[in-house]
Structure 1
Amino acid sequence: MSSNLSEKAVDQQKEFGLLKSTSSVDSVHEVEAGVKVGEDDDNYFFSEDQILTQIKVYEDEIANTPVTKTLRQRMRRMEFCEVNFSNKTYMVIMLGFFASFAGILSGVDQSTISGASYGMKASLKLTSDEDSLISSLMPLGAVGGSILLTPLSEYFGRKVALVISCIFYTIGGILCAAAQDVHTMYAGRFLIGVGVGIEGGGVGVYIAESVPSTVRGSLVSLYQFNIALGELVGYVIGVIFFDVKGGWRYMLGSSLVFSTILFVGLFFLPESPRWLIHKGYDVEAYKVWRRLRDTSDLGNKREFLEMKHAAEQDRQLKEQESRFKSMFDLILIPRNRRALLYSIMMVSLGQLTGINAIMYYMSTLMGQIGFSPKQAVAMSMVGGAALLIGTIPAILYMDKFGRRPWSMTIIGFSVGLVLVGVGYQIDLNTNLAAAEGVYLTGQILYNIFFGTYATLTWVVPSESFSLATRSIGMTICSAFLYLWAFTVTYNFNKMKDAFTYTGLTLGFYGGIAIVIGIPYQLLFMPETKDKTLEEIDDIFEMPTRQLVKQNLKNLKDYVSGNRKSI
């Protein structure tokens, strides 16, 4: 630390574990002199010495921060169940693992309701409409949860919002497992949905704000992997309890195990450093940063300065604007509007191509193609396993190859939808084996390629918005995601009757993927690989026509062999 620190300041740093200076020039690696810091229009550039100087000034400010009673209380709350590793990579992995574990809860819910529907219909004497509403109330509740996401994550913190989602999960799971009538089941499913809505938008933001840009895509993708893993686990649970008396209650109650694991695990994780600095909690933000980054690395110093600079700019803008105007920044500012439209389009494509309807009604679809009820539940594991396998390449290589190449997996799952539609056209009485073979092949292709594609529907929104609009942006995107999920799920039976199974899977879902999805992503999708969240701001400052022009040029170069990626 600087020699001008008072004895009291040094004592404070010992107490908070921030004494050791990371500003020594000897401790950093050689880098190029022109390092950009900040996101303003003046394009400020700082040399290595300037970065080190600014970090030193910042550390000195922290050292001389008065230790008020409020600050001491906040620090003690942070230190509760605090875990530290000398190798910061382990802390990053731990954060990504436990935060993304929330996906298992969502996945288990989606698949257990499919197997539970057989026993639940008889036990609760459900009509067809009541059965559809029970399945679709989860995504409807998730719309409500998405709306709650902004106030919860903005005022209480990203991590605390996830803890609250666990509470909704737990209460909802208990109600579903113990339900004696359809209305209790409605309430339980809706509350589970609220938990899903808070979690769905919150996990991506929490991970994206906390981990390095080099692994951000992979760790956010891990959330989709866990959704797929949860779906597979749910199908296995369905098979285990299918012949057990009242087994549907055990299926639906199984989510309590996973919500408890997540609830406990979250207490060992830090709050998002970007949220802390956004709220002006500089001491806490820097301490969390030291838990998650090697602060002897110049690149990490640079990222921290970018983060601080962006937060200061946001605070200055909020002071200059009225509260009413700031609420509409997401729409009025072109950079924010582009990010919003892009993110909404990505989550909409993920839902309107049929994944939730297919997963919720997997057992029904399998039964339609000729399997017995128990076989249908068991064969649903094939689709769940394929979805899980499909997420693995994205986790391993999302940050190596970028976002745009993975978006083209939409072509692969479109082929799967074609085969599913063809499978329904084969006469079951004369060619049962052929019908089942074509259908299962289509299901496997669809789920494998969609597993990869689905990771983008979480990665893209989590990294597209500016710090000031991230909460409200994710709220809107999550609301669209679950609103589409509710619409597709609730209307599945009606759409199936109107379109036929072939028309629904091949015509409607496949048509959206091929006619809208592929052209949109080729023309309008930016590449954000290896960019910090602050650098991504510059990408969305680019006018749309310029982005389209750049994407067309890149596509032309790729086709001609002059470029390795689209």
Structure 2
Amino acid sequence: MASDPEHPSLSSLGKVGKYSGEIGGLEEPLINGGHGPKNYSVAAAILPFLFPALGGLLYGYDIGATSCATISVESATLSGISWYDLSSVEIGLITSGSLYGALIGSLLAFNVADFLGRRRELILAAVLYFVGALVTALAPDLPVMVIGRLVFGIGIGLAMHAAPMYIAETAPSKIRGRLISLKEFFIVLGMVGGYGFGSLLVDIVAGWRYMYGASTPLAVIMGIGMWWLPASPRWLLLRAIQGKGNMQELKETAICCLRRVRGPVFGDSAPEQVDEILAELSYVGEEKEATLSEMFKGKCLKALIIGAGLVLFQQITGQPSVLYYAASILQSAGFSAASDATRVSILLGLLKLIMTGAAVLVVDRLGRRPLLLGGVSGMVISLFLLGSYYLFLDNVPVVAVAALLLYVGCYQISFGPIGWLMISEIFPLRLRGRGLSIAVLVNFGANALVTFAFSPLKALLGAAILFYIFGAIAVLSLLFIFFVVGILLYSFIHVGRKPMLGGANGVVGERLDGVVGTTRRGCRRAVVDGVVMIVNVESGEGKGKLGSSGTLSTTQGLDEVGEAQNKVHREASLAGQVGGGRGKSALTL
């Protein structure tokens, strides 16, 4: 297939040389990574990541701080208020208030995010973070405190929607995956900071006010930083091809923004990059606006079932309860001093931080479903252990600590990072923003419900029964991952089989964008931007100097497949140097 101005060539989409062995992009052509061995300045790439990531850090901080604040606000001697004698429902309102706000923020993001753009959405999130934290910290009574929590939560909903998109659309392709993963790392870092700061203040009179007020400086830094940063070049070009502004003016603005986020090393290649992005966006149908009805048809419906199901089970297996009520659980488990309970909560946060890093390192090698199945199995064990502790092991507090550590570790290598990773992979490009909005909506809705219900249900049923219920739901989530997710992902992948070179079979999607290669663990990896997700091609008897297997990873793409398939075959052949050996294909989901 020859290259022409309207149909970008495969090499332009992948942006790698024929034998470069470097991946050009993780998902779709956001900002391509070609034009030389280094097309960005590391210093210039830091700030477009750092300021949006502060939105995640503030979300994580709220989780950790609230875990400690609920102890402080209920104390007759340390709360510093006359309305400290709160019911379990009122405590549930405090802890879940930010999550109900995030639910509202998710609804707003679905309707106004494309109009505002990622940058302005993050500026608005920073303003809401600041106002919400200030109102909560200065609250004279419970209703005002809950209002402050709601406002802060709206900021969470907007930030969690806009931050990953801004980072993805401005980051250089060579480090995009690491930066998106680091955003999740910042959330966990915020949790550790919240637990740590809370443990220092939990024994101080009115310490809960300082815990919530401490997030205001970070909100100011985030807001100023996002005001200074440029708009996403891709969002500007999307507005241009959808006829929502002057094409030439938006192109010129996008060129300036691209130079700012890439640094001076980018030089004069920005106009060429902008032209390529425009061509690519037009070619994959971005000029058409997505409609809500499209989300509930065909492959989008399957993606929605997987995505919404994963984030739903992520929450209703008790994750919000363990995080928000960690200090309270530990206090009831024998750590009578509030400071002791909150310090053990810091240990939970540090473990979460370590396991997040471990998940980032192994997810591509081990696959999504194996990590989900293994991690959720560990969660089942830990939840039944917690239930057993409250039922007949209450004189051994180490059991509660071990169960909490096991739960946090297993969650962070399964539901924690992989649920959102799969959501980002399975939705078609044009509908990915709305798909993400719906997933965020389900996530925060379930999170708020579980967080609110935990305290009154614990009082009604007892902690033992409640954790047994969470354990039973975790068993159901295992069945969902094994059967429903497995079947739907197989239907995504099994769109069509085409023979690979050397007799190996490879699964090829209906539509392809481009093929690039990368060296990983001594293997050659072929990446196809098509409808299929991940397929391993093993070499059988063939011996390859680059290794015995390669991976085809696809998301969505174009109508013509002839030349693209040939290139897939060549890359698959390189993957294992199959030659005349007999090969086989295997799914690595």
TM score, norm. by length of structure 1: 0.72
How far off is 1:442 after superposition? 1.6
2:544 aligns with: none
Asked if structure 1 preserves the Cα contact closer than 8 Å seen for 2:238 and 2:287, the reply is no
Note the alpha carbon deviations across 1:87-107, whole angstroms, 9 max, x for none. 434434443333223211111
Note the alpha carbon deviations across 1:10-47, whole angstroms, 9 max, x for none. xxxxxxxxxxxxxxxxxxxxxxx989999xxxxx6737
Equivalent residue for 1:97, pick from 45, 50, 53: 50
In 1, the alpha carbon distance for the partners of 2:4 and 2:300 equals 21
Note the alpha carbon deviations across 1:158-183, whole angstroms, 9 max, x for none. 12101110111100101111011011
In 2, the alpha carbon distance for the partners of 1:87 and 1:51 equals 17
Measured on the aligned residues, the alpha-carbon RMSD in Å equals 3.8
Asked if structure 2 preserves the Cα contact closer than 8 Å seen for 1:421 and 1:506, the reply is yes
In 2, the alpha carbon distance for the partners of 1:503 and 1:150 equals 37
In 2, the alpha carbon distance for the partners of 1:245 and 1:36 equals 70
1:558 aligns with: none
Asked if structure 1 preserves the Cα contact closer than 8 Å seen for 2:199 and 2:343, the reply is yes
Query: 1:271 aligns to what SS in structure 2?
Result: coil
2:316 aligns with: 352
1:204 aligns with: 164
Asked if structure 1 preserves the Cα contact closer than 8 Å seen for 2:102 and 2:158, the reply is yes
How far off is 1:130 after superposition? 1.3
More displaced 10-residue stretch of structure 1: 377-386 or 326-335: 326-335
Residue 407 of structure 1 pairs with residue 369 of structure 2: no
1:81 aligns with: none
Amino acid at match of 2:121: A
Equivalent residue for 1:182, pick from 134, 142, 145: 142
Residue 46 of structure 1 pairs with residue 13 of structure 2: no
Inter-CA distance 507–541: structure 2 relative to 1 (3 Å threshold)? farther
Note the alpha carbon deviations across 1:119-167, whole angstroms, 9 max, x for none. 3234233232211111111111111011111344211211210111011
Map 1:417-566 → 2, pairs under 5 A:
417-428=383-394, 432=395, 435-453=396-414, 454-497=416-459, 499-509=461-471, 510-525=474-489, 539=555, 565-566=588-589
In 2, the alpha carbon distance for the partners of 1:378 and 1:37 equals 60
Gaps of 5+ in 1: 1-32, 39-43, 53-84, 319-325, 543-560
In 2, the alpha carbon distance for the partners of 1:398 and 1:530 equals 17
How far off is 1:371 after superposition? 1.5
Amino acid at match of 1:447: V
In 1, the alpha carbon distance for the partners of 2:213 and 2:3 equals 53
Residue 107 of structure 1 pairs with residue 60 of structure 2: yes
How far off is 1:263 after superposition? 2.0
How far off is 1:356 after superposition? 1.0
Asked if structure 2 preserves the Cα contact closer than 8 Å seen for 1:141 and 1:194, the reply is yes
More displaced 10-residue stretch of structure 1: 329-338 or 258-267: 329-338
1:554 aligns with: none
How far off is 1:254 after superposition? 1.2
Asked if structure 1 preserves the Cα contact closer than 8 Å seen for 2:189 and 2:353, the reply is yes
Decide which structure has greater strand share. Answer: 2
Asked if structure 2 preserves the Cα contact closer than 8 Å seen for 1:89 and 1:292, the reply is no
Map 1:277-292 → 2, pairs under 5 A:
277-280=237-240, 281-290=250-259
Note the alpha carbon deviations across 1:424-475, whole angstroms, 9 max, x for none. 33333xxx3xx32222112112112222331223333345444543333222
Decide which structure has greater helix share. Answer: 1
Amino acid at match of 2:354: I
Asked if structure 1 preserves the Cα contact closer than 8 Å seen for 2:368 and 2:418, the reply is yes
Inter-CA distance 169–345: structure 2 relative to 1 (3 Å threshold)? same
In 2, the alpha carbon distance for the partners of 1:176 and 1:387 equals 27
Note the alpha carbon deviations across 1:183-205, whole angstroms, 9 max, x for none. 11011000011011111122222
In 2, the alpha carbon distance for the partners of 1:532 and 1:564 equals 15
In 2, the alpha carbon distance for the partners of 1:36 and 1:405 equals 42
More displaced 10-residue stretch of structure 1: 246-255 or 338-347: 338-347
How far off is 1:249 after superposition? 0.8
2:98 aligns with: 138
Amino acid at match of 1:457: G
How far off is 1:413 after superposition? 3.0
2:496 aligns with: none
Inter-CA distance 301–184: structure 2 relative to 1 (3 Å threshold)? same
- Between the two structures, name the one with larger relative contact order (CA 8 Å, sep ≥ 6): 1
Inter-CA distance 397–212: structure 2 relative to 1 (3 Å threshold)? farther
Map 1:49-60 → 2, pairs under 5 A:
none
Residue 128 of structure 1 pairs with residue 88 of structure 2: yes
How far off is 1:252 after superposition? 1.4
In 1, the alpha carbon distance for the partners of 2:13 and 2:377 equals 48
Residue 265 of structure 1 pairs with residue 225 of structure 2: yes
Query: 1:180 aligns to what SS in structure 2?
Result: coil
Inter-CA distance 459–269: structure 2 relative to 1 (3 Å threshold)? farther
Number of aligned residue pairs: 467
In 1, the alpha carbon distance for the partners of 2:208 and 2:364 equals 40
How far off is 1:391 after superposition? 0.7
- The alignment-based identity, stated in percent, is 26
Equivalent residue for 2:194, pick from 234, 238, 253: 234
In 2, the alpha carbon distance for the partners of 1:411 and 1:35 equals 50
Inter-CA distance 284–406: structure 2 relative to 1 (3 Å threshold)? farther
Query: 1:155 aligns to what SS in structure 2?
Result: helix
In 2, the alpha carbon distance for the partners of 1:169 and 1:481 equals 19
How far off is 1:378 after superposition? 2.0
Gaps of 5+ in 2: 16-37, 241-249, 494-508, 510-524, 534-553, 559-583
